Structure 1
Amino acid sequence: MKKRDSSGFTRRGLLGAFAATAVTAAPTFANAAGFLRGGGDIRRIKMYSGRTGERLDTIYWIEGQYIGEALREINIFMRDWRNGKTVNMDTRNVDIMAASLRLMDTSEPYMLLSGYRSPETNAMLRSRSSGVARNSLHMRGQAADLRLSSRSVTQMARAAASCGAGGVGRYSGSNFVHMDCGQVRTWGR
């Protein structure tokens, strides 16, 4: 049994993350990729969609190379479920998501609430909520809204922010975390 502190991280998971960052260079996205290096020469992402019922569990990077077919699966999985439109999801954001999941040391897949959003969908959501950005990174395939039942919003946000590689928004009232590969910043409660 793995002993967890009050934040939900295991000692082994944190030590692995810190060891991985010791070998990483300073550039922003190298940090997220560095967290993944501790797991060998593979990168894996696991998600499911409550909207479509689909599941994704794929290794998308092996020995320094992204796997085209796996990235195509990710693009389809993270599509705008309202109209079926897809874009090429930014691999930097997939790396941040995978690194964060690894840091939290859980086998649970993310629940994807929102990946790519077409401009039409973003406009519709924006008309209903003040919390939707006009130029959302979701419209560029550079953001995802995610949930885990085994981790709190705070734990997820801390893991994502520790990657030092993009934006992290905490939405405690709605129980999800926004992760993107834009400028490094945090917001929310």
Structure 2
Amino acid sequence: MTGISSSGMTRRALLGAFAATTVAATPTLSNAAGFLRGAGDIRRVRMYSGRTGERIDMIYWIEGQYIKDAVKEINYFMRDWRTDDVKNIDLRTIDIMAASHNLLDVNEPYMLLSGYRSPKTNAMLRSRSGGVAKNSLHLNGQAADLRLASRSVNQMAKAAIACSGGGVGRYSGSNFVHMDCGAVRSWGG
């Protein structure tokens, strides 16, 4: 696939972002070590939640295959912490987050501010802020709001934009970047 899909993501752009850096990591799944001997491409996501105190450092993709149990753990980690509702996070969003993190060349995990949002949570947030979309991609498990202490909003946004995988929103006043797997676009400052 060389063109832009209906979601705006190009496979080549995302693979290029992963190829731009290498990841050296110890897998969190005990059976992953065997796959890593002589392994090529691996994908890893590192996050923590200030709301729940949870942390995740997960290799979720090895040589073209998503690791089902790892993705399940990521889905749970990115749940709506207010309601404890879990939704499958779109794998393209996870890939964009991981590729952006690789491009930033940091060991610091992302702070996850918001992953999946239940309709109840999204409505509550909309009532408090004009910056929350009624049909937010968070409702579909297709977006994440992330922060890094060691990188600026602009640095994070540039890395996400370089992936050409979806939407990137800069929220400098609140010090976070929105990444989603929707149409390729960017906003904010």
Question: Which TM-score bucket, shorter chain as reference?
Answer: 0.7 to 0.9
Contact 1:168 1:177 in 2 (8 A): yes
State the match for 1:20 in structure 2: none
Provide the C-alpha distance between the structure 1 equivalents of 2:87 and 2:131, rounded to a whole number of angstroms: 23
Is residue 9 of structure 2 the alignment partner of residue 34 of structure 1?
no
Alignment of 1:77-96 (within 5 A): 77-96=77-96
Provide the C-alpha distance between the structure 1 equivalents of 2:188 and 2:17, rounded to a whole number of angstroms: 24
Provide the C-alpha distance between the structure 1 equivalents of 2:18 and 2:155, rounded to a whole number of angstroms: 18
What one-letter code is carried by the residue in structure 1 that aligns with 2:41? D
Provide the C-alpha distance between the structure 1 equivalents of 2:49 and 2:10, rounded to a whole number of angstroms: 26
Gaps of 5+ in 2: 23-39
Alignment of 1:1-189 (within 5 A): 25-27=2-4, 28-30=9-11, 31-38=13-20, 39=22, 40-189=40-189
Residue 156 of structure 2 aligns to a residue whose secondary structure is: helix
Q: How far is the alpha carbon of 1:41 from its aligned partner?
A: 1.5
Q: How far is the alpha carbon of 1:34 from its aligned partner?
A: 2.8
Provide the C-alpha distance between the structure 1 equivalents of 2:153 and 2:65, rounded to a whole number of angstroms: 31
Q: How far is the alpha carbon of 1:26 from its aligned partner?
A: 4.4
Q: How far is the alpha carbon of 1:29 from its aligned partner?
A: 3.4
RMSD over aligned CA atoms reads 1.2
What one-letter code is carried by the residue in structure 2 that aligns with 1:36? F
Contact 2:2 2:10 in 1 (8 A): no
> After TM superposition, which residue ranges in structure 1, 4 or more long, deviate above 4 angstroms?
none
Residue 45 of structure 2 aligns to a residue whose secondary structure is: strand
Provide the C-alpha distance between the structure 1 equivalents of 2:150 and 2:96, rounded to a whole number of angstroms: 19
CA deviations on 1:55-85 (whole Å, 9 max, x unpaired) are 0000000011000000000000000000100
CA deviations on 1:150-184 (whole Å, 9 max, x unpaired) are 00000000000011110000000000000000000
Q: How far is the alpha carbon of 1:33 from its aligned partner?
A: 3.1
Percentage of matched positions with identical amino acids:
68
Q: How far is the alpha carbon of 1:187 from its aligned partner?
A: 0.3
Gaps of 5+ in 1: 1-23
TM-score computed with the length of structure 2 as normaliser = 0.85
Contact 1:33 1:96 in 2 (8 A): no
Residue 10 of structure 2 aligns to a residue whose secondary structure is: helix
Residue 72 of structure 1 aligns to a residue whose secondary structure is: helix
Whose RCO is larger (CA < 8 A, sep 6+)?
A: 2
